[in-house]
Amino acid sequence: MVKKLMNGLVVLGLLASAGCNAGHPRLDHPALEHSQLIDLTHAFGADTIVWPTEHDFRLVVQHEGETPSGYYYASNRLEMAEHGGTHIDAPIHFSRNGQKLDEIPIEHLVGAGIRIDVSAQCARDRDYRITVQDFERWEAAHGRIPDRAILLLDTGFARFWPSRQDYLGTTLRGPEGARALHFPGVHPDAATWLVRERRIKAIGIDTASIDYGQSTHFEAHVALLSQNVPAFENLADLRALPNMGFQVIALPMKIAGGTGGPLRVIAVLSSAH
C-alpha cells in the first residue's frame, strides 16, 4: 500500500511537466515510464454544469496585460460552488459528524481503481438506480471487488457534457429545476452493500450525483458519507479505463471546513493496458 501511495504521489508531482491536457501522455520517469495517465476531470469554465439551485462558475478577469513597470501580468478571481463541475462530496455534506474536506485522509483519495460499466442499463432508463445485482454480475466476470478499492461507475452520461438538457434532463434552474432532474445514480441498498460488504474507500460517478436525479432523501449519499466514504461526482469519460488494474489519484482543493470542492482526478494505467 505504501509503495502504491508513493508511486501515486510521484505521478502527481510530475503532472505539471507531463502535458496532461495533450491526450493520454506517458511519463519518461524510472518509476512510471510504462504508465499512462487518463484525466477524468471536466475543465471548469462558463459551461460547467452545476446543480440547478447553485450559481454558475465564473472566472473573473482582474488583470491581463502589460503593467506600468513593463512586464506582463495576468490574474483572475474564481466564483464557484463547492459542488459544481468535477468535485468531491466530503462526508460532512450528508453526515453531521462526518469528515470535513480538509480532514479526509489522503489515503482515501489514492488507491486501486475498479470501473463498473452500467451504461447499457442507463441508456434504457435515465432514472436507473445501480443495484447490488449489477455489482454481483461484475464480480461473476472479474472476481470479487477488493476491500479498500475506489469504485468508478460508468453510466455513459459523461458523453452528454456540457449539455444541461442531455446531462441533467432539464435546463430549468432553481427548485423547479431540481425537481425536474433525470439521471442515473446508486440505489441506497447498493450503497449500503458497498460499505458493509466490500468496504470501499471512495466512489465516483459520471453524473451530477451519487443519488439518481429524482431522489428526494439522498439515501445513497447518507449511506456512504455517514461511513466517511467520499464521493466523486461529474467525472469525465470513463470508457478508456479497463475494468480493473489501474490506480486512482483524486485530490481536491484542501478547503478548511469544506463540505466539498473542485477535484482533479486521474487514472494511472500500467503498460499492460
The per-residue pLDDT for range 183-203, each reduced to its tens digit, is 999 999 999 999 999 999 999
Which 8-state DSSP code applies to residue 156?
S
Query: Which contiguous run of DSSP H or E holds residue 178?
Result: helix 174-179
* Among 95, 77, 84, 78, residue whose Cα is nearest residue 53: 84
* Among 191, 199, 196, 201, residue whose Cα is nearest residue 5: 201
Over residues 27-35, the mean pLDDT reads 60
List the Cα angle 168/116/57 in 5-degree steps.
35
pLDDT of residue 241: 97
Q: Which residues contact 113 (CB under 8 A, 6 or more apart)?
A: 149, 150, 151, 152, 241, 244, 246, 247, 248, 267
pLDDT of residue 16: 38
Give the Cα separation of 35 and 269 in Å (integer).
Answer: 5
Confidence of residue 35 (pLDDT cuts 50, 70, 90): confident
Please check the confidence at residue 14 and state whether its pLDDT lies above 50: no
Q: Grid coordinates standing for 155?
A: 453510466
CATH topology of domain 2-269: Glucose Oxidase; domain 1 (3.50.30)
pLDDT digits (tens, 9 = 90+) for 108-161: 999 999 999 999 999 999 999 999 999 999 999 999 999 999 999 999 999 999
| Torsion sign over Cα 96, 101, 105, 109 | positive
Q: Where are the domains of the chain?
A: 2-269
**Burial grade of 38 (CB within 10 A; 0-12, 13-18, 19 or more):** buried
Residues β-bridged to residue 251 = 264
**Burial grade of 16 (CB within 10 A; 0-12, 13-18, 19 or more):** exposed
pLDDT of residue 12: 47
Give the Cα separation of 38 and 159 in Å (integer).
Answer: 16
Asked which of 14-23, 47-56, 90-99, 243-252 is least confident by mean pLDDT, the reply is 14-23
pLDDT digits (tens, 9 = 90+) for 215-224: 999 999 999 9
Q: How far is CA 97 from CA 93, 112, 199, in A?
A: 10, 27, 19
Q: What is the mean pLDDT of the chain?
A: 91
Give the Cα separation of 133 and 162 in Å (integer).
Answer: 31
pLDDT of residue 8: 47
Q: How far is CA 151 from CA 84, 118, 134, 197, 201, in A?
A: 20, 13, 13, 13, 8
Please check the confidence at residue 40 and state whether its pLDDT lies above 50: yes
Give the Cα separation of 90 and 225 in Å (integer).
Answer: 7
Q: Grid coordinates standing for 215?
A: 431522489
Over residues 11-23, the mean pLDDT reads 43
Yes or no: say if 112 and 150 are a contact pair by the CB < 8 Å rule.
yes
Confidence of residue 272 (pLDDT cuts 50, 70, 90): low
